[in-house]
Amino acid sequence: MDLQQIEYRIRSILERILEMRLESTGANAHLMNDLGADSWQYLEFRNELEIAFRVTIPDSDVDRLSTMGDCAQLVSELLEPEISEGPDPGLGGPREPRSCKGGSYQGTDGALYTDLEVGMALTGRNHLAESPLLKFVGEIRWNHIAQFAGVPSRKLCDETGERLYATFYYVETLFPRQTPMAAFGENDRFTVVSTLRSFGNSILDGFHFFYPAGWPEEKKIPLLNGRNAADMGIPYVRTSNIFVKMLQGATWLKKSRPAQRGMDDIPRLAEVPDSYPRIKKAEEEGRFRLTPEAGSALTPGKVRIEYQIEPDRDLNGVGLLYFANYPMILDIAERKCLRENARLPLSNDLLDLRTLVHRESAYLGNAHPSDSIDVWIEARIENPFLSGHPAPEMSPVRLFLDYQMFRRSDGRKIIISSAEKVIFGMTLEEAGLLDPLREMAKESV
């Protein structure tokens, strides 16, 4: 294949990724500076090149992917026959399914099966709690990756031997409205079926389906997506990862990918997971779209709550703000906001009963332990006098919250999150909110 043919194919790949025509664009056009590719599109482009030309682009040559001409030259060099020295046993290879750390078992379908009994470690103020649950699924994801890679998680590295971390960039948690998170408590049991898919060895995506222990065994299977689970009334957590290495602690993380050959055994995605465009849209709009139209504002616009990072509580073992603790930080700020800054302040007794139904989060960055955080919160409450609920007094207390979190040192946005919660086991009338909501509905007319 000559350079002209390679460049033609590269142009086609870029047109698809960038969604623009490039027939009149010169070979010296820079992918980022001239064509406007962002870092995610750049990563997708690298993966697409490897798939299209069946080559591996080393991290050391990534900087050469600057112009279409440079890309064509690099691909041409990589297409030249190489002498194979055989597999490196230190980087692992395909393995038969087997038992994994933490009592999990990887099936022949590639999914990970884990029996879970809810203990005190997974509970919070109101039964099953979000942050402990995310720590649990985060550990499952690490075990799943390590099972494919064939090495302990601490030995995941790039081709230069630098340690890599499968950081989370998107998390969605959904529990059925009739059985929100607090409907499950100590000694309740699940079979967790976890799936894992890979796009180009650098982007991972998958679901953790929480089948109740009494669910028929033959029906505890990997599902295609979250909608299937929601239709069946099955709670799930979806997690998407990219691999990064730390260049300057928590403030500078660089995307990379593992060198372990076993990563090639992870089932492949044909295109970038749809979690990526979801976080891009959330970045543009400042929220995920979870808020209903028939709601009343609980806060006077966005409310700012300052949070000081607590290193002994908020960080993980490598000094990063733990992804599973982000929701806890949001909950702490949310409680202060709804108790002190809401148009309809909620008591601590009511706030103790709030529990998660649905949350989507875009993880955009991390923070240094010495930093503090600004959490901006906007809250709404579903109003039965606006929705036309046939029995307003029996309506549940449903809260809808949008959050944005910034590190104060430089104003960098580090998370966008939207959540639906309920005050568990209590109606609007029992919560003493019926009359105030009737008055708020009159103001909206």
* Residue 262: both structure tokens together: 């076993």
**Average predicted confidence (pLDDT) for the chain:** 88
Total residue count of the chain as it appears in this document:
445
The pLDDT tens digits of the residues spanning 261-270 come to 899 899 999 8
Residue 194's pLDDT is what?
Answer: 97
What pTM does this model have? 0.82
Integer Cα distance of 235 and 210 in angstroms: 5
Q: Beta-carbon neighbour count of residue 296 at 10 Å?
A: 19
Q: Beta-carbon neighbour count of residue 177 at 10 Å?
A: 14
How far CA 94 is from CA of 99, 161, 264, in Å, comes to 15, 20, 8
Residue with tokens 């079926």: 193
CB 293 within 8 A of CB 367: no
Q: Predicted confidence band at 432 (pLDDT cuts at 50, 70, 90)?
A: very high
Please, what is the Cα angle at 40 between 67 and 404, to 5 degrees? 140
106: which residues sit within 8 A by CB, 6+ positions away? 97, 98, 99, 100, 112, 113, 144, 147
Q: Predicted confidence band at 250 (pLDDT cuts at 50, 70, 90)?
A: low
Integer Cα distance of 445 and 130 in angstroms: 37
The pLDDT tens digits of the residues spanning 50-106 come to 877 878 888 888 888 899 899 999 998 888 654 333 333 333 333 344 455 556 888
Integer Cα distance of 304 and 334 in angstroms: 10
Burial 199-218 (b: 16+ CB within 10 A, else e): bbbbbbbbbbbbbeeeeeee
DSSP symbols for 339-394: HHT-SS---HHHHHTEEEEEEEEEE-----TT-EEEEEEEEEEE-HHHHT-S-GGG
The pLDDT tens digits of the residues spanning 140-199 come to 999 999 999 999 888 999 888 888 888 999 999 999 998 999 999 999 999 999 999 999
The pLDDT tens digits of the residues spanning 348-365 come to 999 999 999 999 999 999
Mean pLDDT on 409-414 = 94
Residue 94's pLDDT is what?
Answer: 33
Domains by residue range for the chain, with CATH: 3-78 (1.10.1200.10), 96-273 (3.10.129.10), 287-445 (3.10.129.10)
Q: Give the type of residue at 345.
A: P
